[in-house]
Amino acid sequence: MKKWADYLISEVRYDSKNLISTAIRHQDTDLGITLGEPIDRSTITSDIKNRLSYITIYNGKNSWKKGHKIQTFSIGGIPYLRIDENKVKLDYLGDLPELLLIKSNPILESELPSSSRGSLPKESVEELPPEQFSKAKELEKEIKNLEIVKTEYDIIQILQKQNKKLDDIEKKLHDLEKMT
């Protein structure tokens, strides 16, 4: 089967300037699409400048769907990554899912079926056997649950910091009231 591209991007996180801070990169191999790894935008721009190809991919029901070619251009010496032809100072990879957390992959290679170890199928590859598909769905649910717990923990930490700031402000206001 013909490769879609050298590398594939499935998720992305943008910073406050709408530049890519982290993306999940996969490889297109003879066995299918590999599990993703987090990379930064400088890796992507460097690879594209070195003539490696990138496209976006979307997670379908049981397979990956091909997205758009990622291109780079520069404005004032700063590279930007886009799937469209707009020449603006923003990265844009379409409607890829937003990467909320940097994922560390808790799946051990030994837990994966030997026939698909380290890869997932493209849309044109036959569907996984039912037992492999159900195991993948279970692992996917487990990962989502772990992500939810981590997100909740991060939110709690932020709220605790904000509460402390509010307490400090209240104390200062109270002290000012005493002075007047």
pLDDT of residue 127: 52
Among 31-40, 67-76, 79-88, 117-126, name the one with the lowest average pLDDT: 117-126
Q: Is the pLDDT of residue 178 over 80?
A: yes
C-alpha span between 39 and 23 (Å, rounded)? 5
Select the more confidently predicted residue: 25 or 130.
Answer: 25
* pLDDT tens digits along 34-57: 888 999 999 999 999 999 999 999
pLDDT of residue 76: 92
pLDDT of residue 2: 82
Q: Which residue has the tokens 């509460």?
A: 163
CA atoms within 13 A on the CB side of 26: 29
Confidence class of residue 108 from pLDDT cuts 50, 70 and 90? very low
Q: Is the pLDDT of residue 5 over 50?
A: yes
C-alpha span between 179 and 174 (Å, rounded)? 9
Query: What pTM does this model have?
Result: 0.57
Token pair for residue 164?
């402390």
C-alpha span between 42 and 16 (Å, rounded)? 17
Select the more confidently predicted residue: 157 or 81.
Answer: 81
Give the residue extent of every domain in the chain: 7-128
C-alpha span between 89 and 63 (Å, rounded)? 33
Q: Is the pLDDT of residue 61 over 80?
A: no
Percent of the chain whose predicted confidence (pLDDT) is above 70: 81
CB contact set of 61 (below 8 Å; sequence gap of 6+): none
What mean pLDDT is predicted for residues 142-150?
76
C-alpha span between 68 and 78 (Å, rounded)? 22
- Which amino acid belongs to residue 8? L
3-state class of 103 per DSSP?
A: coil
Select the more confidently predicted residue: 104 or 148.
Answer: 148
